[in-house]
Amino acid sequence: MSRFIAALLAVASCASIAHAQSSEPASPSPPLTLERALALAGATAPSLEAATAGVRAAEAGRTVAGYRPNPSIVAETENIAGSGQYRGLRSAETTAGLALPIELGGKRSARIAVAEAIGNRARIGTALAEADLRLAVTQLYIQAAAAERRLVTAREQAGIAREALRAAGVRVQAGRASPLEQQRADVLRINAETAVERAQRLAEVARDNLARRIGQPVTGPLDLAWYDRVEGFGPARPIEPGGTLALAAARADATTAEAQVRLARSQRIPDVTLSASARRLEATNDVAAVFGVSIPFPVFNNGKAAIAQARAQSDQAQALRRAAELDAAQDIANAQAEVANAATSARNASGPVLASAAEAARIARIGYREGKFGQLDLLDAERTLSETRTAAIDALATYHDAKARLERLVAAAPSPEENNQ
């Protein structure tokens, strides 16, 4: 009779565990998807605000670069406050007019070229900020989803541990096991409940980090279906890094440096200042025209050092561009391999491996309740299942992280039409 009661309790506990694992409570709010989190983060990201301000500054700099030098008002009075006939203002000569600087050597066009190159680089910087923000938010979302999955797993393991303790108590009461098994099962229950508390705290921290990035609390569920999904990833196709953001930024830096060389060369040619004035002679009350030309004499600074500096900076930018091409190609190839390996590991860990571990644990539970397996066999199967679940969660997190980093590496640069907007 006692064996019949034990078997009945075991079947009931098994059914309750299966129902708890297969059914999840319905949430009144839709899950927060990754795309929604990205949209919310983009609306409040300080990095995007800074990048946008940089574009506005570059556009204003382009306007300033197109301005010509302002004319100057020239006014002077001579032959006053002297002695003799120059005492007072009797012999004063007052001159008033305008002086107009004339830029030579293509300085204005060179300034405009530098300003346009800086503006193009600022717009690429905005695209870089958007790509970096997308990667950061995606990684935080992955961490939050993984923490949520670990919490679900910890709760399921705690439920299994409580049912194992109950089954052990039934076996002890029926005289089919020693009290040691019940004590061991109770220790496992305590450890499982402690793991739930740790997983709960980590999940809350992960949600808080994501909430700070998107600018609002994360109270609803996450899109765990997206987290559990592993897309097919076939043989890696070579990806040319030429159109990526990293190389676009390096090229823009090189273009800006080359424009700086042209500007430095134009600065070597002195500007001419033309002046036209009217002079009034106090003694005779006559008026005469005065014309003048002013040309700087480059004795101390002839501009050679500025050209050498700009040329060295241009050589540096060109070298960094070539290095960026090599690094981008290598990083993309490595990232593709990481995504492929992570996809394989995630599919195996969350597919056949997890199914086998779950089946082994199920058989061990039934065998333990029926007295066919010992408690050590049950504990070994449960530990294997717990480790396999954790490995599956980690493999999925690694896969999504590798995929996000690959997408960041191959992010396309804005088109010239977009840069000119």
DSSP for 78-89 reads ES-S-SGGGSTT
Q: What is the pLDDT of residue 19?
A: 41
Is 165 within 8 Å of 61 (Cβ atoms)? no
Q: Which token pair is 315?
A: 């050589």
Backbone φ/ψ region at 181: left (φ over 0), alpha (ψ -120 to 50), beta: alpha
How many Cβ atoms are within 10 Å of 68's Cβ, its own excluded?
11
Is 113 within 8 Å of 65 (Cβ atoms)? no
Q: Which token pair is 158?
A: 């705690």
Q: Which residues contact 51 (CB under 8 A, 6 or more apart)?
A: 122, 125, 126, 128, 129, 130
Alpha carbon 260 to its chain's center: 30
Quickly list DSSP for 4-62. Answer: HHHHHHHHHHHHHHHHHHH--PPPSS--B-HHHHHHHHHHH-HHHHHHHHHHHHHHHHH
Q: Which token pair is 248?
A: 């676009």
Q: What is the pLDDT of residue 135?
A: 95
Q: What is the pLDDT of residue 23?
A: 40
Listed in order, strand segments (DSSP E) in 196-345 are: 272-281, 286-294
Of the options 3.30.420.10, 1.20.1600.10, 3.40.190.10, 1.10.10.10, the CATH number for the domain spanning 31-68+103-268+303-419: 1.20.1600.10
Q: What is the pLDDT of residue 397?
A: 94
Return phi, psi of residue 336, to 5°. -60, -40
Judge if pTM exceeds 0.75. Answer: yes
Q: Which residues contact 273 (CB under 8 A, 6 or more apart)?
A: 99, 100, 101, 102, 293, 294, 295
Alpha carbons 295 and 297: distance in angstroms, whole number? 6
Closest by alpha carbon to 403, among 241, 227, 206? 227
Alpha carbons 389 and 323: distance in angstroms, whole number? 42
Alpha carbons 282 and 91: distance in angstroms, whole number? 6
Q: In the chain, where are the structural domains located?
A: 31-68+103-268+303-419
How many Cβ atoms are within 10 Å of 75's Cβ, its own excluded?
9
Which whole-number Å values give the CA distances from 301 to 100, 297, 365, in the listed order?
23, 9, 89
Is 65 within 8 Å of 114 (Cβ atoms)? yes
Handedness of CA 105, 109, 110, 111 (dihedral sign): positive
- Tell me the pLDDT tens digit for each residue of 108-157: 999 999 999 999 999 999 999 999 999 999 999 999 999 999 999 899 88
Spell out, as residue ranges, where the chain has pLDDT lower than 70: 1-28, 86, 171, 177, 233-236, 368, 375, 416-421
Q: What is the pLDDT of residue 147?
A: 95
Q: What is the pLDDT of residue 319?
A: 97
